[in-house]
Copies of this chain bind each other. A is one copy, B any other.
Amino acid sequence: MAVTLADVAARAQVSSATVSRVLSGNYPVSEATRARVLRAVDELDYVLNGPASALAAATSDLVGILVNDIADPFFGIIASAVQSEIGGGQRGGSGEKLAVVCNTGGSPERELTYLTLLQRQRAAAVVLTGGAVEGPEHAAAVTAKLGRLAAAGTRVVLCGRPPAGEEPASAAVTLAFDNRGGAQRLTEHLLALGHRRIGYVTGPADRTTTRHRLEGHRAALATAGLLAGAEELTVHGSYDRASGYDAALELLRRRPDLTAIAAANDTIALGVCAALRDRGLRIPQDVSVAGFDDLPFSADAVPALTTVRLPLQAAGARAGRLAMGREATPPGGVATIRSDLMARASTAPPPEKA
């Protein structure tokens, strides 16, 4: 059917072994032969048969990236960075890896299914992003699966996700985001401005990311002696704008006297802003709002959103390099990616007591 290695070999007057070696480049071939082979490849418009190659070599040039939601820029930025690092269609030559972006929708089942699918493809590496769903059964299943992948030679990188099962990094390399610290600094910033009644809008309670950010927030409150009542001021939803909108209204109902709302991510924060506006409240004059992640739109929202910057692009690129085995594993298998408070216009001192 299609052109095969043998066809190229015949045309270039060499054996198929030589053609293979020219293409893979990991064996000395004289310049003359190489040129002849490459010309034949060109003339015949030959394209390597990936599956055959993967079968023989026992590894494919696929790299899987698991994300909770492709349509969310948070993951899009990471995925994009990983992709351009692992090849990105630059050369098309060998060594070029193909990114398989898998949309788990945050479901542990789909996550497992995709991991199996990637295992089936003999993926060269797998990058897991986003917080994991907590719960012993899931954690154990995922850890086991990752262990099997690693055993089969697949590199495993966790990007912005705690080590599976919270135990020492197992076979995976982990780039941990400093969610706890970032959230704590954010809340400290609000406290420093003088806020005392701070609402907190976050995502599903069973996500590690959710928990870590909440812990940071609570830690800051605890230090300020404001832990009492924190429960009432916390609303769980999902990590999207609509959820933020609803949660803000709910908070306003529970505590009409709050002066600030911190959101567990920027997208939620935008929903919160919309809700406040619809209630006729000004930001930040009446209520301060803060987000998390520092997605591109946050800087030029109106007002510019105070948030915590996570260097997603850099983290993704590093994850990509780790996946390619081009960067050394950090000591202990875990590197922490620091987060930075970005104080902007959406936070200000609370209004004077009426």
Contact = CB atoms under 8 A, between A and B. Distances in A.
A34 to B, nearest CB: 20
Interface string A31-52: 0000000000000010111111
A80 B73 CA distance: 13
Contacts of A300: 241, 245, 270-271, 274
A71 B80 contact: yes
A69 B73 contact: no
Contacts of A101: 70, 79, 99-101
Contacts of A122: 49-51
Nearest to A240: B296
A84 interface: yes
A148 B92 contact: no
Given A71-B80, A98-B121, A100-B99, A45 B148 contact: yes
Given A49-B120, A101-B100, A101-B101, A77 B71 contact: yes
Interface in A73-117: 73, 76-77, 79-80, 83-84, 88-92, 96, 98-105, 107, 109-114, 116-117
A107 B89 CA distance: 10
A76 B70 contact: yes
Given A90-B110, A102-B99, A116 B73 contact: no
Contacts of A51: 50-55, 60, 121-122
Nearest to A104: B89
Interface in A102-155: 102-105, 107, 109-114, 116-122, 148, 152
Nearest to A110: B89
A14 interface: no
A2 interface: yes
A302 interface: yes
A119 B92 CA distance: 12
B89 A80 contact: no
